[in-house]
Amino acid sequence: MNHYLLKRLRQSLITLFLVSVVVFAGVRAIPGDPALALAGEERSPEALAAIREQYGLNDSIFEQYWRFVSHAVTGDLGVSARTGLPVDDAIVGALPVTVELALLSLLFAVVVGIGAGVIAAVRRGRPSEWLANGLALLGLSVPNFWLGIVLVLSLAIAVPVFAASGYVPFGVDPVDNLRRMVLPAIVLGSGLAAVVMRQTRAAMLDSLSADYVRTARAKGLSRRQVIGSHALRNSLVTVVTILGLQLGQLISGAVVTEQIFVLPGFGKLTIDAVFTRDYAMLQGVVLCTSAAYILINLLVDVAYSVIDPRIRLGGAPR
Amino acid sequence: MTTPTTPTTSTTALTSPTRARLARAAGGTRTRALLRDRLALTGGVIAALFVLAALLAPLISPYDPAQADFENALAQPSWSHWLGTDDLGRDQLSRVFHGLRASLQVGLLAVVLAFVVGVPLGLLAGYYGRFADSTVSRITETMLAFPFLVLAVGLAAILGPSLLNATIAIGISQVPAVIRITRAETLRLKNVDFVAAAVANGGGDGTVLFRHILPNAASALTVQATVGIPAAIIGEALLSFLGLGVQPPEPSLGVMLSSAQSFLAAAPWMAVFPGLAIVAATLAFNLLGDGLRDVLDPRGATR
């Protein structure tokens, strides 16, 4: 087990290093003198020289990279050019919104996806299978930003059940918070739910025809017990893997969802940074997003090596 | 009703009994194969209609897509404006037709870009293995570490928001999948007898890779392309929606949805029709792709 995890950890660290290089190089590739951007109104040669000195822009590119990384590791991501406040503070402030959104949509995707997948696999050829399959196809083909607009049209404007925009922290007013977060969570989770549904269905169909399920039935377990504790459990490895692979989409989707529902999360921070040319912010946000993504992928691998012992004992992942 | 409805180039050279047998072997029960073919056919026809509409947009559009008409702003769908008008009184139908041009342009160009970058890297990794393989793997993982939208946002920041840069971002985001598929196919084909024979005959690496391996990987790559096109269409709409793709007043389905957001209560048709166009186009290409996958790549047809 340790060998496998160490190998994955090493790979993740290498990827993280490459990501930091790409982010660093990318921001330096932006046309224009960074000193000019930082200077604002004061553009005399002396002021520019002072800024270059202050921000270490005269140092070699390696020294600059090293400073960027060593500061980033301690949580210092520089100062936003737009607000003049530390980037890490803005990120910490936006994080709860995006994390709540992501968790709620994961919950939606897992509950709806696994539920519909099991139904589609167990009730083959009945109307409920067709319904589940149709919904999954729709979930895959409807872009989530349009789904968001349609849901706002129907459930926030035509029949005002939910709020269309804005954010209230859960700690301040849990009911109002959920009233505002339900639609975004559905929008963000729908595509994922469709993928989870298809995978669950395929994996369930495989396990239901496996020998051990027939054995379990033959020794007198009820159909419900067999489906729940044998077939479903063995299908979960696939589902966890798929969830891991789809997390990048979840992160991309969060950016759009937050834009539609005007939620002050990570995605809004990212888009605002682009349009206001706030490079320190952009650099920090992209670095954090990618690091989080790498970390989550690592955790997914760890999770399924725990669920399925064959992975950590067999050496090579399937 | 015993013959398959979509004969393909790969099977036309075979005698018809063989073809029938292949179709039976590949399709499971006949009704299911037929249903699948019908879906693929429907998808193909709708996709073709969308392509035609995009190509002929200037000819079939009832109005100039950029022509503002403030008298008729936010008009409901009617006989003179089938899909209504937007906040500037521009005809929605004409804008959808022209928007499809951007969608399909990005759909094709992004996939071409992904192939131009991904196929050589995949061949390299699969054929030479060892150092080449692990280097390409690290590159792939680094690319995967940037979620698509973060990548697009970064590129827009560096190069400025435009349709071309959106295409590049979408293309790059599809590179890892192309690398993986090419690599897997190369690994599989490397050990097949006819490739070994080509090597024994003194064929150089270039000959083996491009004359023997690549043509045999073509069907898997075709399937990937049919997945890539609808993904790129959605990607374009998404980036234009966020203001990172097509720039207004140029028409794009994403731009239309973005401006519709301010008029959801007053003019819901502004949001409904462009969205329906995206869904229909994506669904059509996905159905066509599913059908092609069943025909071209039997190993993938287990669903």
Residues 6+ apart with CB under 8 A from B209: B123, B127, B186
Min distance B14 CA to chain A CA atoms (Å): 33
**Looking at the domain assignment, is residue B161 inside a domain?**
yes
Tell me the backbone φ, ψ of residue B90, rounded to 5 degrees.
-80, 145
Domain-located, residue B15: no
The per-residue pLDDT for range A257-303, each reduced to its tens digit, is 888 888 888 888 888 887 777 778 888 888 888 888 888 878 877 77
For residue B144, what is the nearest residue in chain A, using CA coordinates? A248
d(CA A41, CA A164): 40
Boundaries of domain holding B268: 30-55+92-298
Whether A313 has a pLDDT exceeding 60, the answer reads: no
Structure-token match 């192939």, residue found: B115
The answer to whether B265 contacts A157, with C-beta atoms less than 8 Å apart, is yes
Q: How confident is the model at residue B5, as a pLDDT?
A: 40
3-state secondary structure of B280: helix
**pLDDT at res. A309:** 62
Confidence of residue A87 (pLDDT cuts 50, 70, 90): confident
Contacts of B260 in chain A (CB under 8 A): 149
C-beta of residue B183 within 8 angstroms of C-beta of residue B126: yes
Report d(CA B142, CA A18) in Å as an integer.
6
pLDDT per position as a tens digit, B125-147: 888 888 888 888 888 877 877 77
Give a yes or no: residue B182 inside a domain: yes
Give A194→chain B minimum CA distance, Å.
14
Q: Chain A residue closest to B134 (CA)?
A: A11
In this predicted structure, what is the pLDDT of residue A311? 56
Q: Average the pLDDT over each of A192-201, A219-228, B105-114 and give the range with the smallest value.
A: A219-228
Q: How far apart are CA A102 and CA A188, in angstroms?
A: 8
Q: Given pLDDT bands bounded at 50, 70 and 90, which one contains residue B171?
A: very high
Q: Which residues of B touch A16 (CB under 8 A)?
A: 145
Crossing angle of helices A87-122 and A232-260, rounded to 10°: 130
Are B4 and B33 a contacting pair, CB within 8 Å? yes
The alpha-carbon gap from A220 to the nearest alpha carbon of chain B, in Å, equals 30
**Cβ neighbours of B303 in A, within 8 Å:** 198, 202
CA distance B223 to B279: 20
Maximal CA-CA distance, chain B: 76
**What pLDDT shows up at residue B22?**
53
Q: Which of A141, A149, A260 sits opposite B282 (nearest CB)?
A: A141
- Nearest beta carbon to residue B141 from set A15, A29, A146: A15
Percent of chain A with pLDDT over 90: 4
Q: What is the pLDDT of residue A108?
A: 92
CATH assignment at residue B110: 1.10.3720.10
The answer, yes or no, to whether residue B24 has pLDDT greater than 70, is: no
Q: Which pLDDT score is estimated for B7?
A: 38
Tell me the mean pLDDT in the region A59-82: 81
How far A101 CA lies from chain B's nearest CA (Å)? 17
Which tokens hold the place of B86? 């937007």
pLDDT band for position B119 (cuts 50, 70, 90): very high
pLDDT for residue B300 is more than 70: no
How far is A305 from chain B, CA to nearest CA, in Å? 20
Q: What is the mean pLDDT of residues B1-29?
A: 45
pLDDT in tens, A148-166: 888 888 887 777 777 777 7
Question: How many CB contacts within 8 angstroms connect chain A with chain B?
Answer: 120
Interface residues of B toward A, Cβ cutoff 8 Å, are 138, 141-142, 144-150, 153-154, 156-158, 161, 230, 234, 237-238, 241-244, 257, 260-261, 264-265, 268, 271-272, 275, 278-279, 282-283, 286, 302-303
Quote the minimal CA–CA distance from B225 to chain A in Å: 16
The yes-or-no verdict on residue A181 having pLDDT over 80 is: yes
Average confidence score pLDDT of chain A: 80
Residue B269 lies in a domain: yes
- CB contact under 8 Å between B149 and A143, yes or no, is no
Chain A contacts of B268, Cβ < 8 Å? Answer: 153
Q: Which of A141, A245, A266 to mutate to test the interface with B (most CBs of B within 10 A)?
A: A141
Q: Which amino acid is at A26?
A: G
Q: Which residue has the higher pLDDT, A307 or B44?
A: B44
**Assigned token pair, B178:** 């192309």
pLDDT at A83: 77
Q: How far apart are CA A226 and CA A204, in angstroms?
A: 11
**Which among B142, B150, B242 is the nearest to A289, CB-wise?**
B150
Q: What single letter denotes the amino acid at residue B92?
A: Q
Q: What distance in Å separates residue A183's CA from the closest CA in chain B?
A: 16
Give the pLDDT mean for B230-255. Answer: 87
Judged by CB atoms closer than 8 Å, whether chains meet at A294 and B145 is answered as yes
Task: For B31-84, write each residue's pLDDT tens digit.
Answer: 555 556 677 888 888 888 999 988 888 888 888 887 777 777 777 888 877 778
Q: Which chain A residues are within 8 Å of B176, Cβ to Cβ?
A: none
What was the ipTM of the complex prediction?
Answer: 0.74
Nearest chain B Cα distance for residue A10, angstroms: 12
Question: If pLDDT is split at 50, 70 and 90, which confidence band does A185 have?
Answer: very high
Q: Name the token pair of B115.
A: 């192939």
A contact test, residue of B139, B153, B259 with most A CBs within 10 A: B153
Average pLDDT over residues A121-126: 79
Nearest CB to B153 within list A19, A202, A271: A271
Q: Which of B270, B268, B279 lies closest to A158 in space, CA to CA?
A: B268
Residue B67 lies in a domain: no
Task: Confirm whether B109 is domain-assigned.
Answer: yes
pLDDT on residue A150: 87
Helix (H, G, I), strand (E, B) or coil at A31: coil
Taking all residues of chain B, what is their mean pLDDT, rounded to a whole number? 79
- Nearest-CA distance from A219 to chain B in Å? 30
- Give A139's contacts in chain B (Cβ within 8 Å): none
DSSP notation for B185-246: HHHHHHTSHHHHHHHHTT--HHHIIIIIIHHHTHHHHHHHHHHHHHHHHHHHHHHHHTTSSS
- Residue range A100-267, CATH number: 1.10.3720.10
**Interhelix angle for A144-151 vs B218-241, to 10°?**
40
User: Which pLDDT score is estimated for B15?
Assistant: 46
Q: Could you tell me the residue ranges of all domains in chain A?
A: 100-267
In this complex, do B278 and A202 lie within 8 Å of one another by their Cβ atoms?
no
Sorting pLDDT into bands at 50, 70 and 90, what band is A104? very high
Quote the pLDDT of residue B167: 92
Helices then strands, counting H and E runs in chain B, come out as: 14, 0
**Measured between alpha carbons, how far is B249 from B268 in angstroms, rounded to an integer?**
20
As for how many domains chain B has, the answer is: 1
CB contact under 8 A, B268 and A152: no
Nearest residue of B to residue A245, measured between CA atoms: B144
Candidate from A16, A149, A277 with C-beta closest to B261: A149
pTM: 0.78
Q: How confident is the model at residue A41, as a pLDDT?
A: 65
pLDDT at position A68 is 83
Residue A28 has pLDDT above 80, yes or no: no
pLDDT at residue B303 greater than cutoff 50: no
Report the residue from B157, B234, B278 with minimal CB separation from A30: B157
Residue-wise pLDDT for B179-204, tens only, equals 988 988 888 888 888 888 888 887 77
B124 falls within a domain: yes
